[in-house]
Structure 1
Amino acid sequence: MKKEKEVAEEVSAQQTAQEQTPSAEEKIATLEKQVEQLSQEKEKLTKTVARLQSSADKSDTYLNQLVAMKNDFESYKRRMKFSAEQAKAEGVQSVALKLIEIADTFEIARKHIADEETLKAFEMVHQQFVQVLHGFGVVEMDVKGQQFDHNTMNALSQMDYGEENSGKVVEVYKNGYTMGEKILRYAEVIVGA
């Protein structure tokens, strides 16, 4: 009886094991479900990757546009700075040219002052005026006795002042002025022949 019982238990265990062990069809069905689920997950992941790639592409595009705009703005700032400096320089030059006309009037007036005290007072005012010109960077050219230079002077005429003065500035009709490297007005001179 014991043996029958053991055999019955063994048969029962095998039946239970067979019932619990899925058949090949069940395994295939389970695997097909898993494949379907994995396919769906793969599809979702593919869409997510595509969205992320699209977002990355847009980000790159926006970044490139931002860099281009930054470069354009830097270029604009340089141009505006240059324009402002140029406008300032042109404004100073314009004022300096007007002041040079006043300097010419000073030179003419100086030649007509006979009284020593008046001349002294006049010289003080003239010196102060010259300092104002220097403050703008305007410097009078010292050309008398120098070799004639067509780059900085205009020859009004030539006169015979002897062999030693040939080609040299013998008289200055109007003083020339520079502002930095720029010539504001050429000196008008008489050159020895």
Structure 2
Amino acid sequence: MEEEQREASAAAAEQAANEAETSDAAAEELAQEEQAPGADPRIAELEKQLEEANNRYLRAQADFDNFRRRTLKEKEELAQYASLKLIGQLLPVVDNFGRALQTGGEQGDLQSYSKGIEMIHRQLWQVLEAEGLKQMEPVGQPFDPEVHQAIMQVESDEHEEGIVVEVVQPGYWLKEKVIRPAMVKVSG
């Protein structure tokens, strides 16, 4: 009986040892899976894709920051030198005014001096018109408070009420925008 108990104890101990080994092996396998996420190729591929996407995001963010700084600098330069072209076109007009002033006092020929000033005025208008400046011609047109500034209302037999009859100070358009309304007298 003692021998049977020993054999039974030995069998139970062996079975317990086997179960412990199986349990230890399962725990060890689970621990390895938790410790080595790269063991599953899908996880490794997803982690690689995540890292690549993160790197692309960081590069795109840096490119955008550089683009924003560059466009801000270009905008500042454009505002600073916006009138450069116009000034370059006006310099010959200024030169001609200088020449006219020098010769006007020396020669004393009022008619040629007057003709020279008219030519310079025409040259100045050519430059301004090339840039999109137009003078308003409101006489005979209905009064429009968007483009005219009425300074006086006058009686007129030849115009009906609300018509511009005289321009006191000309108004100007720059392309499609009013830069100065015309001061006008309106029939009443």
Following TM superposition, by how much is the alpha carbon of 1:137 offset from its aligned partner in structure 2, in angstroms? 1.8
Following TM superposition, by how much is the alpha carbon of 1:157 offset from its aligned partner in structure 2, in angstroms? 0.8
Given candidates 38, 57, 67, the residue that maps to 1:64 is 57
Following TM superposition, by how much is the alpha carbon of 1:53 offset from its aligned partner in structure 2, in angstroms? 4.3
Render the CA deviation track for 1:18-48: whole Å, top value 9, x for unaligned: xxxxxxxxxxxxxxxxxxxxx8xx9779358
Alignment partner, residue 130 of structure 1:
125
- 5+ residue gaps in structure 2? 1-28, 88-109
Render the CA deviation track for 1:109-166: whole Å, top value 9, x for unaligned: xxxxxx8766544432221121121132211111122111111110011000126242
- Secondary structure at the aligned position of 2:56 is classed as helix
Sequence identity of aligned pairs in percent?
Answer: 25
Q: Is 2:176 the partner of 1:184?
A: no
Q: Is 2:164 the partner of 1:169?
A: yes
Counting matched residue pairs gives 133
Given candidates 138, 143, 151, the residue that maps to 2:138 is 143
Given candidates 152, 155, 170, the residue that maps to 1:157 is 152
| Bigger Cα Rg | 1
- 5+ residue gaps in structure 1? 1-38, 96-114
Q: Cα 1:85–1:183, aligned 2, differ >3 Å: closer, same or farther? A: farther
Measure, in 2, the Cα distance between the counterparts of 1:84 and 1:147: 43
Q: Cα 1:167–1:120, aligned 2, differ >3 Å: closer, same or farther? A: farther
**Structure-2-length-normalised TM-score:** 0.53
- Secondary structure at the aligned position of 1:164 is classed as coil
- Secondary structure at the aligned position of 2:159 is classed as helix
Q: Cα 1:182–1:88, aligned 2, differ >3 Å: closer, same or farther? A: farther
Over aligned residues, Cα RMSD in angstroms? 3.7
**1:1-193 to 2 correspondences below 5 Å:** 46-47=38-39, 49=41, 53-71=46-64, 73-74=66-67, 91=83, 119-162=114-157, 164-193=159-188
